[in-house]
Structure 1
Amino acid sequence: HYPRIPKPYWDQTCALPIFHYPRIPKPYWDQRINMCKALGMNAVCLYVFWNSHEPKPDQFDFTGQNDLREFVKLCEQNDMKVILRPGPYVCAEWEMGGLPWWLLKKKDIRLRESDPYFLERVDKFQKAIANQVSDLTIANGGPIIMVQVENEYGSYGIDKQYVSEIRDMLRKNFGNEVTLFQCDWSSNFLNNGLNDLIWTMNFGTGANIDQQFAKLKEVRPNSPLMCSEFWSGWFDKWGANHETRPAADMIAGIDEMLSKGISFSLYMTHGGTNWGHWAGANSPGFAPDVTSYDYDAPISESGQTTPKYWELRKTLAKYMDGKKQTDVPSLIKPIAIPSFTFTEVAPLFSNLPEPKSDAEIRTMEEYDQGFGSILYRTTLPELKQPALLTVNDPHDYAQVFVDGKFIGKLDRRNGEKALTIPACKKGATLDILIEAMGRINFGRAIKDFKGITGNVTVTVDNEGHRFVCDLKNWKVYNIEDTYDTYTSIGEFYPIETFTPDENGRLPRGVYRGTFNVKKPSDTFLNFETWGKGLVYVNGHPMGRIWEIGPQQTLYMPGCWLKKGENEILVFDIIGPKEAKSEGLREPLLDQLLVQKPLTHREEGQNLVLSSETPVYTGSFAPGNGWQEVKFDKPVTGRYICLEALNSINGKDVAAIAEMYVLDDKGERLSREPWIVNYADSEDVARMNRSGDKTFDLQESTYWSTVPGIPFPHAIVIDLGATHSIEGFQYLPRMESDVPGAIKDFKIYVKNTPFKY
């Protein structure tokens, strides 16, 4: 809206870095802003994380890492404009997408909808944000040039009324002069687009730029064009490969957009760190994110320049209208810290807090606990033979003990809910220790309760008679993730008091030690010998560790270290093999140690389709964008197979970015219960291109077969239940040459599993 923008700015193309102030130590904010300015960028695009600013209802925090006003003022002092994105939902691979966990204490709440309680809380939050920075909009002479309404709502639902209510709140709190916009994907932006807002697109490196803006130009031929999130890299998940994206693809996209007068925000220009328990999780299924949010960005997690940085700086120099780029500020030189050992441990099971008593299972939220671990304890009936213990459902990582002996684990990532427990006497103690990881931050599954969300049963088969016991009468021990919890957990003992168990591990519990630093600077603390848990240094929550990788180190900012002695605490729920660490000059972000294969095909397994009859045979058209096929009549089944016979470009690779199955009403089935049963080939040696990427809600990620393996290629999905199906939707990759696009194909649907 040109009346809302000063005329001298009308012809200005914006090149914006995206980075998040809570993910960067406050003493480094000014340097990081200047690193972005030295690239040739002229504004900063930033999310506001609701859950970070309102940890408890009506208790707002805008201090320290949360000092939003100070960050915006620093941008202004460095002659950088600001685009503010206050949500209330932000995604950002952040816990619950930025929504505060305490909303879930109202179990029937409808998140991101016109739920009266949700809207009441959003309004209070938006008002608190406005109280901090509404006087800093460009209409008031400040740096804030635009404010975003919600975030990628088209990936959540279709609800213009709700989006309108968020818009109205922002108008009320920021005034009528502020320019408001909304962002979405090119495939869904019209579903919730409001006529009085600016519309922007989000897409990743390698995308066909013209195709991404084609629909917007058609419906708004005079609209300014902006990619509000141009994804420079990607985020990492526990148990998967470290993600990278080619610099050449990023540079080519930026160069093309600027040459066509298209503004962009680079997500991320500088990723940062998910301190403490703030890392989120992806869905469908459950894929928790690691602590590092390096994102393969031009500026690394620790603020170092990368090859991407220098290539980007060179490209942006062409669009400076003759102005000279500012000098790159001095970088922080990382240090090494000699190996040190921890000296004492407070074993968890001998230092439990006072329990609560409950006849029924309840979630963490019902005990007013947002983060950390929770132990559920009860007694077992007499079991004369081994029995099946079923936990419905463990959120997120459960360990089962009988009379103090470890029996096994249930990992939500793998859909594990049951294991066999041994025969025991009546009254034997059952312990279920659950660690909550980040709440899902994308899609409908953001309503993500922690702990045990249903019930626990024991099933015994005795001489043909099946007996199911629903366990009751629990003692519940809440172990909140806070520094105070771990320092006051109980009695600490010298580590040499304990000997490793049969698996070579020291006890679960809180480990404490110190290390010395001559001259504080950034380093990377190494946790390769540890199990799974959370780390605090000098009271600062540094993040989560997990031996499976790919991340093995934690970024330790020098500004949080002291000259001389520094305290370190590790709460390890598995137990370390060695209680030691060291400070490295380089991070270990690509060291994957998992037993479960990343692929969905067992050794020697081959799909047998010779006796199957396809329900549909056809050909996909060339080009980008969604394609849909409708069957001649509805078919019933639980298992669906897409067999790709060849590709459009004649090469031997097949790829699918996203796919949906349509029910007999033409509606998309929920993909939450989907599981990949089989994929004949998955390119996971270098990148995460496994079969589950076909339904991960991310249009820029994709399943790809390994180059050199000939057609046909097939993927089999278990839909989780039997459905009446009448169609299929397919999205190829978004690059202009559409690599891996499938040409001829067959679709099979069955009630029973396919044969291999």
Structure 2
Amino acid sequence: MRNFFLSTVLTIACLLGTAAQAQKPVTTGDAIATDEVRNSDKSNPVGTFEAGKGTFLLNGKPFVVKAAELHYPRIPKPYWDQRIKLCKALGMNTICLYVFWNSHEPQPGVYNFSEQNDLAAFCRLCQQNGMYVILRPGPYVCAEWEMGGLPWWLLKKKDIRLREPNPYFIERVALFEAEVAKQVKSLTIANGGPIIMVQVENEYGSYGANKGYVSQIRDIVRTHFGNDITLFQCDWSSNFTLNGLDDLIWTMNFGTGANIDQQFAKLKELRPDSPLMCSEFWSGWFDKWGANHETRPADDMIKGIDDMLSRGISFSLYMTHGGTNWGHWAGANSPGFAPDVTSYDYDAPISESGQTTPKYWKLRETLSRYMDGEKQAKVPALIKPISIPAFRFTEMAPLFDNLPAARKDENIRTMEEYDQGFGSILYRTSLPELKNGATLTVNDAHDFAQVFIDGRYIGKLDRRNGEKQLALPACPKGARMDILVEAMGRINFGRAIKDFKGITRNVEISVDIDGYPFTCDLKNWEVYNLEDTYEFYQNMKFRPIQSLTDRFGQRIPGAYRTKFQVKKPSDTFLNFESWGKGLVYVNGYAIGRIWEIGPQQTLYVPGCWLKKGENEIVVFDIVGPKEARSEGLREPLLDQLQVQKPLTHRREGERLELSSERPAFSGSFKPGNGWQEVRFDKPATGRYVCIEALNSQDGKPLACIAEMYLLDKNGDRLSREPWTVSYADSEDVSHANRSADKTFDLQESTYWSTVEGSSYPHAIVIDLGAIHTLTGFQCLPRMESEVPGSIKDFRIYVKTQQFNF
């Protein structure tokens, strides 16, 4: 009864806005609640969880895991209890969670397991609510989180090899996992706690094949958690054998709509008595800046879960509740660079702000049939969002008037080399005399650069678009050039996670002198480190807003501040449609990133972080607002894309001409799911590859490819990091992100799709980035059992020069 009372008090206090300010000591209420949760398991008996014949065994009895994935750092701590109860009310019996290394160890040896990072308190709260826990402590987690959960300071060693048997990396992993175990080893089921399984690494088959490394991580986890906890590893059905260890449980990850039989076929062949589990059944998908808002049909999710439960297959629904990438924690996808938005709504059954969705109620109805005689828990009260009247910002601190002390450096260096993890960095130098026609090349700006000469804005370089060059105007000798670079989230998937920020190589100016090209590597820089912290922005010198444009008529980068009134605190969504690009703090809390391109235009602000009466907001906008105003809405704006470039890869009027080309290979795919491979009759050399689909397996006018690889001269998969799409005749991007680049985005559940009804043939052209000798092609169709858009007959063309359009 006392636990229930404390939980209720916390919830009410949150709604009334009594939570502490960011970076202040723990409040009395929080301390009492934490002590209560810490002591809640003293009387719980010890138990066992293990793999039996064809099923998991909980205390010796068959047990089907029905897990809800949610991540405690993505949820305000006062809301943890309500979110767990929402999962319980669905009919779930387990909470599955990642442990984000970079959130817990912001600097080497400096650990933070307090407040919103209190992993042990969260696990105990799960147990208090009758939920088991699956712990996924990485060290790598992906999760669309900055650098996949790895701490940025690892990159201070430029030669480090991440997720490999690199001595320094392994040393730091061992130290971190020891700290995690200190927090929660006592909470394993063998010690009377809720933790039934612990994961070793995460989807390593999508990174490489290295059983030695995976074994090292297993040994570290086993050393710190002991021999009486069940360990498992997860991967995709297409690659789990690459790193599968004999003494670990194997689980599969796949998305809604997938062919369940096909996903488990290989596992059942290799381990016919193994329990089956989908450790990530993707309920939706994540959003990227400059792309459509992602959704997935509820019926597909329901069908898959029903199919699995009817056969006794365990699952974890990723995500059941996504939450928010607060502050600078949103990651980025690869190949290429596709930064994720602040919202991690994920089109999940429980929305970003903890609201029940139509998916929620359909899922609850389905799970009611699999309760083993138990009654579903009552759905807890929801938090009613509020609107906040429009308010204007009253103060501003122009960035160029508030620069910190400069460092002097002959050469360009990355942010990490200056011991800076997040925020922006300004590089300044003097130019030689330039006439019209000079070209600036930045190699490479990570991630969004703006160039100014003597204070005048010249242009931007957006890493998403591969932009590296700008034309410079004529200018006198000694003109000041500033390159302001904002670091967005580090890449969280694939080999590109070693993602340095700032300018990563050099800056050049190219000119033509009397008909001869000349390139100058610029030196002698002043460097200004602009850390992303509330204190940094607050310490700027603010002044009343006079105008939102400078003497050139340009929008003014800098910090903007005001106070706004709240009558009765509750959740709201602050509108930033009139702003540029930057980061937002409310009452000292890092709320997240904004970017005018969308699709997200609002930021979720929890009511427990607001106060009755006066509240402060600070916006650091590296572009500058069009209008310095905002308002609180009752509903988020997550699907408002302001496209700055076409989402398709075909210029107006452009048409691929293949009549004079000779294919390197012609063939047919077999019907059905799974990877297919063809070997060329003889090697083909080139940089540009065209895949021409001639018809489909079912005769319908639809073509789809989920993933594809080209094989090099040794028959190995060619790296896809430098690949770009040169052309696609048809791409369905009206309401979904099914463009041609989805054929090599390292995600088997996303796919390229032509517009329904568009007739064959269909073609896409890939620029490999360099000339290669190719010997084969691998293709993965869609995961659904019906395999929509599965290609039958096809041709492949390879050229050293670009195709004719």
Normalized against structure 2, the TM-score is what? 0.93
What is the SS of the residue equivalent to 2:262?
helix
**Aligned mates of 2:548, 2:409 — CA distance in 1:** 34
Is the Cα–Cα contact under 8 Å of residues 548 and 625 in structure 2 kept in the other structure?
no
Residue by residue over 1:568-621, the C-alpha shift from the partner in whole angstroms, topping out at 9 and shown as x without a partner, is 000000000000000000000000002200000000000000000001010000
Partner residue, 2:751: 702
Return the letter of the residue paired with 1:284.
P
Superposed, 1:245-324 pairs within 5 Å as 245-324=296-375
Residue 210 of structure 1: aligned partner = 261
Q: 2:546 aligns with which of 462, 483, 496?
A: 496
**Which amino acid in 1 is paired with 2:90?**
L
Return closer, same or farther for 1:646/1:497 CA change in 2, 3 Å cut-off.
closer
Counterpart of 1:531?
580
**Counterparts in 2 of 1:535-614, with a 5 A limit?**
535-614=584-663
- Among 108, 126, 129, the alignment partner of 2:177 is 126
**Deviation, structure 1 residue 10:** 3.2
Instruction: Give the AA of the match of 2:254.
Output: F
Maintained 8 Å contact 1:624/1:736: yes
Q: Aligned pair 1:410/2:473, yes or no?
A: no
Counterpart-to-counterpart distance in 2, 1:384 and 1:74 = 67
Residue 77 (structure 1) aligned to one of 125, 128, 139:
128
Task: Give the match for residue 516 of structure 2.
Answer: 465
**Whole-angstrom distance in 1 between the partners of 2:548 and 2:603:** 26
Matched, 1:30 2:81: yes
What's 1:741 paired with? 790
Tell me the distance in 2 between the aligned counterparts of 1:567 and 1:142. 41
Query: SS of the residue aligned with 1:454?
Result: strand
Question: Partner of 2:659: helix, strand, or coil?
Answer: coil
Which residues of 2 match residues 671-710 of structure 1 at below 5 A? Answer: 671-710=720-759
Match status 1:189 vs 2:205: no
Partner of 2:491: 440
- Aligned partners of 2:512 and 2:518 also within 8 Å: yes
Residues 2 and 10, structure 1, Cα contact 8 Å, conserved in 2? no
Match of 1:474 among 525, 531, 534: 525
Letter in 2 for 1:538: N
> In the alignment, is residue 327 of structure 1 matched against residue 382 of structure 2?
no
Q: Is the 8 A contact 2:51 2:275 kept in 1?
A: no
Give the direction of change, closer, same or farther, for the CA distance of 1:162–1:499 in structure 2 (3 Å limit).
closer
Shift of residue 321, structure 1, vs aligned partner: 1.4
Partners of 2:693 and 2:420 in 1: how far apart?
48
Equivalent residue number for residue 430 of structure 1: 481
Letter of the aligned partner of 2:622 in structure 1?
I
Amino acid at match of 2:542: F
User: How far does the alpha carbon of each residue in 1:697-726 deviate from its partner, in whole angstroms, 9 at most, with x for none?
Assistant: 000000000011100000000000000111
SS at match of 2:770: strand
Judge conservation of contact 1:693–1:702 (CA < 8 Å) in 2.
yes
State how 1:144-163 maps to structure 2 within 5 Å.
144-163=195-214
Q: Does 1:346 align with 2:346?
A: no
CA distance in 2, matches of 1:501, 1:281: 36
Q: Paired residue for 2:568?
A: 519
Residue by residue over 1:284-310, the C-alpha shift from the partner in whole angstroms, topping out at 9 and shown as x without a partner, is 000000000000000000000000000
Q: Match for residue 719 of structure 2?
A: 670
What per-residue deviation string (whole Å, max 9, x for no partner) do you get for residues 111-137 of structure 1?
000000000000010000000000110
Structure 1 distance, partners of 2:365, 2:217, is 40
Does the 8 Å CA contact 1:500/1:577 hold for their aligned counterparts?
Answer: no
Deviation at 1:462, TM superposition (A): 2.4
1:14 aligns with 2:36: no
Q: Distance in 2 between matches of 1:498 and 1:269?
A: 42
Structure-2 separation of matches of 1:695 and 1:179: 35
* 3-state SS, counterpart of residue 161 of structure 1: helix
Q: CA deviation at 1:2?
A: 4.7
Look up the match of 1:729: 778
1:112 matched to 2:151? The reply is no
Q: CA deviation at 1:497?
A: 5.0
State which of 444, 468, 489 in structure 2 corresponds to 1:393: 444
1:385 offset after TM fit, Å? 2.5
Give distance in 2, aligned partners of 1:223 and 1:566: 55
- Check conservation: 1:372, 1:481, Cα contact below 8 A: yes
Is residue 676–residue 718 contact of structure 1 (8 Å, CA) maintained in 2? yes
User: Does the Cα contact within 8 Å between 1:372 and 1:479 map onto a contact in 2?
Assistant: yes
Cα displacement (A) at 1:498: 5.1
Deviations 1:36-67 (A, max 9, x none): 00000000000000000000000000011100
Structure 2 CA distance for aligned equivalents of residues 595 and 424 of structure 1: 29
Q: 1:5 to 1:751 in 2, by over 3 A?
A: closer
Cα distance change of structure 1 residues 498 and 166 upon mapping to structure 2, 3 Å threshold: closer
| 1:224 matched to 2:275 | yes
Among residues 291, 296, 308, which one is paired with 1:240 in the alignment? Answer: 291
Task: Tell me by how many angstroms 1:252 deviates.
Answer: 0.2
Distance 1:186 1:5, change over 3 A: closer
Q: Mark the CA change 1:510 to 1:424 in structure 2 (over 3 Å): closer, same or farther.
A: same
Partner residue of 2:418? 367
Note the aligned Cα RMSD (angstroms).
1.1
Cα separation, 1, equivalents of 2:548 and 2:786:
61
Contact 1:270–1:297, Cα closer than 8 Å, also in 2: yes
Letter of the 2:493 partner, please give it: F
Cα deviations by residue, 1:241-275 (Å, 9 ceiling, x for unpaired): 00000000000000000001100000000000000
Query: Are the counterparts in 2 of residues 506 and 578 from structure 1 also a CA contact under 8 Å?
Result: no
Q: How far is the alpha carbon of 1:426 from its aligned partner?
A: 1.1
The correspondence of residues 627-646 of structure 1 with structure 2, limited to 5 A, is: 627-646=676-695
Percent identity of the aligned residues? Answer: 75
Runs of 4+ in 1 over 6 A off after TM superposition: 3-6, 500-503
- Partners of 1:168 and 1:665 in 2: how far apart? 34
Q: Deviations over 1:425-464 (max 9, x none)?
A: 1111111000000000000000000000000000001231
SS in 1 for 2:582: strand
Q: TM-score, normalised by structure 1?
A: 0.99
Paired residue secondary structure (2:80) = helix
Rate the CA distance shift 1:530–1:501 in 2: closer, same or farther, 3 A: farther
For structure 1, the residue ranges without an aligned partner over 5 or more in a row are none
